[in-house]
């Protein structure tokens, strides 16, 4: 997986993960990328420095409240991704693995789909090069949260 720092035309910064470097251009060209903050489809890669791990201890700003804000932002972004998939992709239920394979092999029309698959089915799809990703979980209902 490759992680890119991305930004939209309104300078909202976010990250995107792609299976290969060409996937960003492909998805952007097909209008599949959107800013999680505003929904803009005018998304571009930003200049990134390579990630280098070190032994420096994180300061208090990276713990506590700052981490909570980042966590909340991530939860909201995941909820938007899930809503986007549910609103624009075809739900195929427990035939997901079969339909994903058919689309990959050109036997079914190319489109976004979502549904259920067993861990063994997902493993087989990944081993065969079929691009799949888990759908973010549903956010907890406010009545279920303390």
Q: What are the tens digits of pLDDT across the range 65-105?
A: 666 678 888 888 888 898 999 999 999 999 999 999 999 99
Ordered alpha helix ranges (H), the chain? 21-29, 64-88, 96-104, 119-127
pLDDT tens for 29-71 read 888 898 888 888 999 988 765 655 556 555 555 555 666 678 8
Structure tokens at 35: 């800013």
Q: Report the predicted TM-score, pTM, of the whole model to 2 decimal places.
A: 0.51
Give the pLDDT mean for 130-137.
88
Own/partner contacts of 68-76, CB < 8 Å, gap of 24 or more, are 75/139, 76/36
Cβ distance 9 to 40 under 8 Å? yes
């Amino acid at each position: 997986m490759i992680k890119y720092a991305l930004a939209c035309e309104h300078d909202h910064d976010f990250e995107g993960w792609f299976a290969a470097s060409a996937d960003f251009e492909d998805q952007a060209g097909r209008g599949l990328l959107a800013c999680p903050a505003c929904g803009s489809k005018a998304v571009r890669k930003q200049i990134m420095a390579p990630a280098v791990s070190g032994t420096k201890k994180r300061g208090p700003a990276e713990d506590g409240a700052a981490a909570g804000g980042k966590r909340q932002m991530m939860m909201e972004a995941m909820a938007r991704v899930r809503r986007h998939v549910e609103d624009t992709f075809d739900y195929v239920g427990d035939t997901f693995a079969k339909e994903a394979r058919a689309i990959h092999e050109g036997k079914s029309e190319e489109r976004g789909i979502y549904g259920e698959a067993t861990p063994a089915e997902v493993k087989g799809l990944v081993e065969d090069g079929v691009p799949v990703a888990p759908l973010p979980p549903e956010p907890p209902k406010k009545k279920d949260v303390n």
